[in-house]
Amino acid sequence: MKIIKAEKITKTVADLCLKANCVLRKDILRKLKSAYKQEKNSRAKKALGAIIENARIARKEKLAICQDTGLPIVFVKLGQDVRITGDFKKAVLKGIALGYQRGNFRESIIQDPLKRGKSSYKGAIIHIDIVRGNKLGLTVLPKGFGCENKSQMKMFNPTAGIEEVKKFIVNTVKSSGADACPPYVVGVGIGGSADYAGFLAKVALLKKIDTKRSGLERDLEKEIGKLGIGPMGLGGKVTCLAIKIESYPTHIAGLPVAINISCHALRSASATL
């Protein structure tokens, strides 16, 4: 049994918020740099150059990579042999508010989605998974809403083929166009239930983007590349930096597919206690 104090969780979450929002993920930066080298379209190349320069300035000056520091999504892997003293969820929310305040990030969260009202740092989505062991894993993914707004989900008939699913994914990227800060990272959840497919699509965004691709991921990258949206929607080769798919068992009557688009500034940071 390992004991972890709530204060420690607060401090860790605050640090992760700062890191995720100011230091671009290494795998994303690597991919952007290789895209910059490959790009022949001069406007698109310039746009990629600005994105890379932006990441450099943000890191150096501790500025947010994007003013939209998002809705924080927190993924928790709680070892079953860990005991937390204090209130876990409160500790996480406190850590978010503290990190966002320290970073001078934007207050982007409103309490009532219909009445709107004053925005603040209060709120996050917390996904908790209980795993073996005595460690506590914490990941913060600040999700900007320009791209979150482009999410789509569809319940296909079980007889729908893989081609129909592919078409849906490609069309979702197409309809995102230049709006959501391409080049995109496309997270896809296939299977489970309606809500779980949506969760999987988000989880897919946590995977390192330069790891081995499945055949389906490779096919889709190729198809999406043909859309010619390019960085900032200015044309060129790179419309998506990567597509990542997570699947899960589902029911004989259905085939849920959810897509979560991320802008080029895909941000996340993790720590293990």
Partner 1 sequence: MKKINTPLNDKDILNLRAGDEILLSGEIYTARDQAHKRMVDAIKKGSRLPFILKNAVIYYCGPAKTPKGKIIGSCGPTTSSRMDAFTPLLLSKGLKGMIGKGARSKEVRSVIKKNKAIYLLAPAGCGALISKYVKSAKTVAYKDLGPERITQLEVKNFPLIVGIDAKGRSIYA
The minimum distance between CB 109 and partner 1, in angstroms, equals 11
Site string for partner 1, 143-162 (x = CB under 8 A): ---x--x-------------
d(CA 235, CA 229): 5
Contacts with partner 1 in 171-210 (CB under 8 A)? 177-181
The minimum distance between CB 106 and partner 1, in angstroms, equals 5
d(CA 32, CA 264): 8
Residue span binding partner 1 (CB under 8 A) among the ranges 105-113, 127-135, 193-201, 242-250? 105-113
User: Does 140 participate in binding partner 1 (rule CB under 8 A)?
Assistant: no
Displacement of CA 130 from its chain's centroid (Å): 21
User: Does 54 participate in binding partner 1 (rule CB under 8 A)?
Assistant: yes
Answer for which of 2, 26, 38, 57 binds partner 1 (CB under 8 A) is: 57
Question: What is the maximum alpha-carbon separation in the chain?
Answer: 58
Answer for which of 37, 118, 222, 226 binds partner 1 (CB under 8 A) is: 118
Q: What is the DSSP string of 166-229?
A: HHHHHHHHHHHTTTT-SSEEEEEEEEE-HHHHHHHHHHHTTS-TTSPPPHHHHHHHHHHHTT--
User: Does 119 participate in binding partner 1 (rule CB under 8 A)?
Assistant: yes
The minimum distance between CB 178 and partner 1, in angstroms, equals 5
Contact 85, 3 (CB under 8 A): yes
User: Does 116 participate in binding partner 1 (rule CB under 8 A)?
Assistant: yes
In terms of Cβ atoms closer than 10 Å to its own Cβ (0-12, 13-18, 19+), residue 59 is middle
Q: How far apart are the first and last CA of the chain?
A: 13
Nearer to partner 1, 150 or 202 (CB): 150
Contacts with partner 1 in 211-240 (CB under 8 A)? 232-234
User: Does 36 participate in binding partner 1 (rule CB under 8 A)?
Assistant: no
- Within 13 Å of residue 109, how many CA atoms lie on the same side as its CB? 19
Answer for which of 10, 108, 172, 268 binds partner 1 (CB under 8 A) is: 108
Nearer to partner 1, 6 or 261 (CB): 261
Measured between alpha carbons, how far is residue 133 from residues 78, 136, 139 in Å?
8, 9, 17
d(CA 48, CA 45): 5
Contact 172, 257 (CB under 8 A): no
Q: Which residues, 6+ apart, have CB-to-CB distance to 177 below 8 Å?
A: 229, 233
The minimum distance between CB 228 and partner 1, in angstroms, equals 11
Q: How many residues of this chain interact with partner 1, rule: CB under 8 A?
A: 39
In the complex, the residues that contact partner 1 under the rule CB under 8 A are: 43, 47, 50-51, 53-55, 57-58, 61-69, 104-108, 116, 118-119, 146, 149, 177-181, 232-234, 263-265
